[in-house]
Amino acid sequence: MLSKRIIPCLDVKDGRTVKGINFVDLRDAGDPVELAWNYSQQGADELVFLDITATHERRKTMVELVKSVARQINIPFTIGGGINEIADADALLNAGADKISINSAAVRNPALIDELAKAFGVQFVIVAVDTRRLGEQNLVHLNGGRIATEKDTFEWILEAERRGAGEILLTSMDHDGTKGGFDNVFLKKVNDAVHIPVIASGGAGSVQHFVDVFEKTNVDAALAASVFHYGEILIPDLKAILSRHQIEVRQIFN
């Protein structure tokens, strides 16, 4: 059985880590390079950095940040935000990123998934999906959750897998920042349907929420931000409790 992964997420705006509720009301959470080093020491399995305004402001993800992070940590990390073409991804890979995450650009140009998977391999490509429930349907949202689409989230995830996504990072906007728990019902539906790893995102507020998401959905990884940034949950404590629940996690060796 593969170990479940614990992934801190650092939303970056203007070179600082920020966190909000339901994608708004952002507040400062620290220097991303310092946080990255701290998480690598705590035993995080991977990190995700999302330049949350890169697409909205039509600018590229900061390559210099990637270089700084790569010098500080020895665990895999993913960069997302403002990646619209192979050249963007190539620059990030050369700067030290292990994977790239695409979201809005993939929805607008689904063939980008095919192109990136062919150029770099599926293991390099994460398709991030921001979803919000409207009526009876989960719909994909773009540009950091600012723009609603008519695209059904479940169908889009299946298409992304067909096109070559190596992983799905699924964020429930309804749950994001609320600390009320992950959207386990929808996560299970998605995880049961695809053959690639699913990363759960949105809603972590307690250690029990991590236990629940792994036991109820069997996703491959759980991602969170504020509970880690503000020291509400320490990764060594979280892994110890997951182990006591017979959930396989990578042990921490420093």
Task: Please classify residue 231 by burial: count the beta carbons closer than 10 Å to its beta carbon, then call 0-12 exposed, 13-18 middle and 19+ buried.
Answer: exposed
Q: What is the pTM of this model?
A: 0.92
Contacts of 208 (CB under 8 A, 6+ apart): none
Residue 24: pLDDT over 80: no
User: Taking residues 187-196, what's their average pLDDT?
Assistant: 98
Angle among Cα 200, 77, 177 to the nearest 5 degrees reads 40
pLDDT at position 23: 46
pLDDT at position 204: 95
Residue 44: pLDDT over 60: yes
Which sequence positions are flagged as catalytic? Answer: 11, 130
Average predicted confidence (pLDDT) for the chain: 89
pLDDT at position 59: 53
pLDDT at position 64: 85
Domain limits, the chain: 5-244
Residue 1: pLDDT over 50: yes
46: nearest Cα among 234, 195, 199, 166: 199
At 74, is the pLDDT very low, low, confident or very high (cuts 50, 70, 90)? very high
User: Taking residues 65-93, what's their average pLDDT?
Assistant: 92
pLDDT at position 229: 84
Instruction: Determine what percent of the chain is predicted with pLDDT higher than 90.
Output: 70
CATH superfamily, domain 5-244, is: Aldolase class I (3.20.20.70)
- pLDDT tens digits, one per residue of 132-180: 998 889 999 987 677 889 999 999 999 999 999 999 999 999 888 788 9
User: Taking residues 230-246, what's their average pLDDT?
Assistant: 95
Helix, strand, or coil (residue 95) = helix
129: nearest Cα among 98, 88, 100, 160: 160
pLDDT at position 245: 97
- Structure-token pair, residue 92: 């990030």
Local structure of residue 205 (DSSP, 8 states): -
Q: How far apart are CA 55 and CA 83, in angstroms?
A: 8
